[in-house]
Structure 1
Amino acid sequence: MLPKLFLAVFTAGALCVAPCIDARKMTKHLMKAKQLEAAKLWQPKGAFEEASGGVKNITFSNPKASEFWVDGSAIPEVGFDIGSSWSGLLPISNKTGETRKLFFWFFPPGPHGSMDDLIFWTNGGPGCSSLEGLLQENGPFSWKTGTAKPIVNEYSWTNLSSMLYVEQPIGTGFSQGTPDVKDENGVAAELVGFMQQFLEVFSELKGKKLYLTGESYAGTYVPYIANYIYENPTALNLNLQGIWISDPSISWDVVQEQIPAVDFVHKYEHVFAFNQSFMAELDNKAASCNYTGYVDKYVTYPPKGLLPLPGKSTEADKGCDLWDEIFNAALIVNPAFNIYRIFDTYPILWDVLGFPGSSAQTQLSPLYFDRTDVKKAIHAPIDVNWTECTNVDVFPDGDASLPPAFTVLPNVIEKSNRSVIVHGLADFILIAEGTRIVLQNMTWNGKQGFQTPIQNDSFIVDGVGALGTVHTERSLTYFEVELSGHMVPEYSPLASLQIMKYLMGFRATP
């Protein structure tokens, strides 16, 4: 995710007793049958019978691996055995005296997951911990906002394959060392260096199929990391197959935030609940900033040429920062307004990681991953004060890289078997309509943008029905997910699991 925050059944029918109970039993039976049928459809290649502990039996020949073993029955507050996993710190190179290290947590696949694959996950920020993705998005156990305790995550991506969560770059989470990267190529080099050391310890993972995944600012990280791997094919003994980036930062903020902001408010006007005079003011400013009608004029299928910026530079012109203006006004109407999912209202749910909405809230102390017992259980450094998003600038002089849509993303799409870009439609921090603009301005596999309209194709989620749109052209598939906020695996876990199955080839079609 981006830095949080850089801005400031009720059953009616009193006359029905036994018949209602029978009906509920029948409904439960039918739902169970549908779930079992769906499970058969979703069965990944290479699945086999359940091993003890809920994960496949896996051992590593390097004795050093035992130093990282995590007892799945002894993770604080987790009232069930998640099985074996491995976590800790590893250096970013094999240089003598290397002190820069990244923190990781590796999970083998569950009973039906494939041993042939490895999914890498990173959160964004820059500087936000991937342990958030583990605990609240796609990990094997889940402790989401508002819940009393951790539960088994039935939609965990470990149902598909092994998962590797890494806190990167240096300066993020439990990672060790002083940040010094200047651009995304530096981030990629450090991550690949770490992966080299990881594969030396966990050598049985060498040669596996690799999928790079992440969200938000990881929309920048992941394409650059993937490009580095493709352009340095001997650097890493893994076979990169494709990427997942959701609600991604892949272009200028003026495109992904400012241009679509007022249209977004109109789409959800009953959620924002602004008065007519303020809406008129926003409309007037949008017109003067060349935001009004931008999509209708320029976002065509196929594109008519390169899409222009609305102002004088890659940033919003003076007086045209309408995103901030909308955000500040939204907080007045709804002090619980959540840029990551606009439907949130009071009460603000508690969060063991300290970020239940638009800004940090220390609702308990210490935070879950800052607890000494948790740190000991996962081999994390005791002396580090863990926060979900660091106060340290992981790019001391700023990120000098251009957004990936202008540089490496087309090359990654062309070299990958499949690539997916996913967007939650209830996300305000990065707006789906802005991502559509970016894609129609990007050239890959010999053509600019999508050639036919996105909205013609429904995204059908098994057991749910249509839950958005999906569109595929030239090895790139773009998903939009209704009702989901910024963190799609958290807000729409069933849809995200289905998308991941598609990326991995466990499904022929989205």
Structure 2
Amino acid sequence: MLRQVSRALALASLLCATASATYHQQFQQWNTQKALSQPDYTRLELASFDIASFQPIGSLSTLTDQFMVLGHPAFPKYSVRIKQSNFCDGSVAAYTGYIDVEARHLFFYFFESRNAPDKDDVIFWTNGGPGGSSSMGLFMELGPCRVVNSTTVVFNEASWNSNANIFFIDQPVDVGFSYAEYGEYVSTTEEAAKDIAAFVAIFFEHFSSFRGRAFHMAGESYGGRYIPLFSSAIYDQNIELVKAGLTPVNLKSAIIGNGLTNRFTQITSYYDMQCTAASVEPITDISTCIRMKQAIPRCQKLMRTSCINAFDPIGCDEAIQVCRMELQDPYWTSGMNVYDISKKCEGSLEETHCYPITKFIQGYLSQPEIRQKLGVDPSIPLDKPLSSHNVGLAFSGTLDILRPSDLYVAALLERGVDVLIYAGTYDWICNWVGNERWTLDLDWSGKDEFVKQNLTEWKVDGKVAGVTRSANGFTFATVNGAGHMVPYDKPWESLEMVNRWLKNRQL
């Protein structure tokens, strides 16, 4: 969900300096070597196995309030701990557990649909960061309940599980309730994608009622990088599943809200958001806006040379630093909410992400009785922050944040996987202007048809909710008056949007 960048990320790196200076230096050197090499994006190869030896659990209803361990001979390094956890919704079954990948352990929540759990689609949701816990999406945005203070939750009528079964996951390790032993960590989206793809396959194999069910990968913010790669890993893994005689995951679509999918189109859009009436009246003084406008051609040239035409990690990082200084820093000093350009930041960005409710979420999840109900590993400190600075530092060290993910979107579209890109019009950090630009620039077979479509209004209860453009399975949409977290600001509009998408992919 919430993406800490620029000064926030710089501060995060200082707060993370808990290890020795020698370890930190070695860590940075190792990450730099990884950044200079090609990302390790390869399909997870399945182990050879006798298909008759696998005995699926069959139904979620067989689970109890004690952990059951699920495995699959095709994935010998992976297992899943899962249990019933009656909390949050109250009207549907809820489950929690861990995806165990040897020394890495990823925490997840799963809620059945309020409508028809045995028939409705399945949504997989992740927040962003990198390092943001999906408990924010669960307890603040689209989950079955919302936190109102540090001890209380209320029923969320506008939850996305109104017509879908839904996962929320804390990933990668060290995020939220996820953890690792022996110093294990993940520092690239390519690495994270393999773990998610394996988990999805194991889940669908064990619970036969979900096999072949329509599946949608969804996320926001840094999810703009996560979701294209996670979806691609699932699609490619399906090839191996079919070879092994297993049922492929029925990946229908990818859904990205206010995502960071192409940083290079996004960064120049900060001028539009601050100096034009793209969303609100200009908020930056004229002299600063003129300097920003003059910096755009130089910024684009630097990025084109070192980031786009050829990826030179050091040169690209330098280009981004120059662009950030000229185009982002004026906003950071304004005191405005980086996730909602229409209001001031409430509290400290580093402590509350400009939303005090995040402190309530952390307080709620720090209660020992809640943790026991969820099955949280006792090694997780009670005061562990929702956002992991360590993960932000690790991904920053590999320059994962600089690698565009739009080509993965194009590849998914070419293979019949639909894609929805939506954005709240008030978000600054991953704004609608930059998101629309990369969708229009995307090179794929349906580009000409998509580009020639005019933006048209979409409505909820007769009122204009935003504008949209769609062709050949690719949809771009705005949500008026919403910031970075669309389901938080516009819950009913976001629910209507996702319900229409699940039903027929048209808004």
TM-score, length basis structure 2: 0.73
SS in structure 1 at match of 2:235: helix
How far 1:377 moved relative to its partner?
A: 1.5
- What does residue 460 of structure 1 align with? 459
Question: CA–CA distance in 2 between the matches of 1:472 and 1:362?
Answer: 34
Over aligned residues, Cα RMSD in angstroms? 3.7
Pair 1:153–1:374, CA change in 2 (3 A): same
- What does residue 379 of structure 1 align with? 375
SS in structure 2 at match of 1:407: helix
Does 1:251 pair with 2:262?
yes
Pair 1:362–1:483, CA change in 2 (3 A): closer
Structure 1 segment 93-492 matched on structure 2, within 5 A: 98-111=102-115, 115-143=119-147, 149-177=152-180, 178-199=183-204, 202-233=207-238, 234-235=240-241, 237-252=248-263, 254-257=264-267, 259-267=268-276, 278-290=285-297, 315-316=319-320, 318=322, 321-331=325-335, 337-345=336-344, 348=346, 355-357=352-354, 367-385=363-381, 386-393=384-391, 395=394, 397-400=397-400, 403-447=403-447, 450-452=450-452, 454-455=454-455, 457-461=456-460, 463-492=461-490
SS in structure 2 at match of 1:421: strand
How far 1:507 moved relative to its partner?
A: 4.3
Amino acid at match of 1:290: P
Amino acid at match of 1:343: S
Question: CA–CA distance in 1 between the matches of 2:196 and 2:116?
Answer: 29
Question: CA–CA distance in 1 between the matches of 2:449 and 2:438?
Answer: 9
After TM superposition, the structure 1 stretch with the greater mean CA deviation from structure 2, 214-223 or 150-159, is 150-159
SS in structure 2 at match of 1:450: helix
Amino acid at match of 1:153: N
Amino acid at match of 2:376: A
Pair 1:493–1:464, CA change in 2 (3 A): farther
Question: CA–CA distance in 2 between the matches of 1:433 and 1:180?
Answer: 34
Pair 1:186–1:319, CA change in 2 (3 A): closer
Amino acid at match of 2:211: K
Question: CA–CA distance in 1 between the matches of 2:281 and 2:184?
Answer: 39
Amino acid at match of 2:260: S
* Cα pair 2:150 2:362 within 8 Å, conserved: no
Superimposed CA distance per residue, residues 331-370 of structure 1 (whole angstroms, 9 cap, x where no aligned partner): 1xxxxx2111122348x3899x963517x89856962222
Superimposed CA distance per residue, residues 356-394 of structure 1 (whole angstroms, 9 cap, x where no aligned partner): 517x89856962222222211111123313322112226
- Bigger Rg, which one: 1
- What does residue 51 of structure 2 align with? none
* Cα pair 1:355 1:388 within 8 Å, conserved: no
Superimposed CA distance per residue, residues 311-350 of structure 1 (whole angstroms, 9 cap, x where no aligned partner): x95734737623433223311xxxxx2111122348x389
After TM superposition, the structure 1 stretch with the greater mean CA deviation from structure 2, 377-386 or 227-236, is 227-236
* Cα pair 2:446 2:471 within 8 Å, conserved: no
Pair 1:399–1:208, CA change in 2 (3 A): farther
Superimposed CA distance per residue, residues 182-218 of structure 1 (whole angstroms, 9 cap, x where no aligned partner): 5322211111222344346545433322110000101
* Cα pair 2:292 2:327 within 8 Å, conserved: no
Question: CA–CA distance in 2 between the matches of 1:502 and 1:270?
Answer: 25
Amino acid at match of 1:326: P
* Cα pair 2:362 2:385 within 8 Å, conserved: no
How far 1:160 moved relative to its partner?
A: 1.0
Question: CA–CA distance in 1 between the matches of 2:402 and 2:120?
Answer: 34
Question: CA–CA distance in 1 between the matches of 2:412 and 2:273?
Answer: 30
Question: CA–CA distance in 2 between the matches of 1:4 and 1:318?
Answer: 18
Superimposed CA distance per residue, residues 253-304 of structure 1 (whole angstroms, 9 cap, x where no aligned partner): x4213x12222123459968757xx322321332243289x9xxxxxxxxxx
Pair 1:365–1:433, CA change in 2 (3 A): closer
Superimposed CA distance per residue, residues 69-127 of structure 1 (whole angstroms, 9 cap, x where no aligned partner): 4453xx4xx6x8344211021313xxxxx231110111111035662421110111111
Superimposed CA distance per residue, residues 446-502 of structure 1 (whole angstroms, 9 cap, x where no aligned partner): 5368322543x11212x1511210110121010011100011111112221122123
- What does residue 75 of structure 2 align with? none
How far 1:246 moved relative to its partner?
A: 0.7
* Cα pair 1:213 1:222 within 8 Å, conserved: yes
Percent same amino acid at aligned positions? 22
Pair 1:138–1:108, CA change in 2 (3 A): same
* Cα pair 1:423 1:481 within 8 Å, conserved: yes
Question: CA–CA distance in 2 between the matches of 1:473 and 1:365?
Answer: 39
Question: CA–CA distance in 2 between the matches of 1:267 and 1:381?
Answer: 49
How far 1:441 moved relative to its partner?
A: 1.9
Amino acid at match of 1:7: R
SS in structure 2 at match of 1:119: strand
After TM superposition, the structure 1 stretch with the greater mean CA deviation from structure 2, 363-372 or 422-431, is 363-372
Pair 1:128–1:497, CA change in 2 (3 A): same
How far 1:222 moved relative to its partner?
A: 0.7
TM-score, length basis structure 1: 0.72
- What does residue 24 of structure 1 align with? none
Superimposed CA distance per residue, residues 137-171 of structure 1 (whole angstroms, 9 cap, x where no aligned partner): 11111126x89942211111111111111111222
* Cα pair 2:106 2:178 within 8 Å, conserved: yes
- What does residue 97 of structure 2 align with? 88
Pair 1:82–1:322, CA change in 2 (3 A): farther
SS in structure 2 at match of 1:169: coil
Structure 2: 5+ residue stretches without partners: 9-57, 68-81, 242-246, 301-307
Structure 1: 5+ residue stretches without partners: 9-57, 93-97, 295-305, 332-336
Question: CA–CA distance in 2 between the matches of 1:319 and 1:120?
Answer: 34
Question: CA–CA distance in 1 between the matches of 2:506 and 2:372?
Answer: 43
How far 1:225 moved relative to its partner?
A: 1.0
Pair 1:71–1:88, CA change in 2 (3 A): closer
How far 1:62 moved relative to its partner?
A: 5.4
Question: CA–CA distance in 1 between the matches of 2:324 and 2:221?
Answer: 23
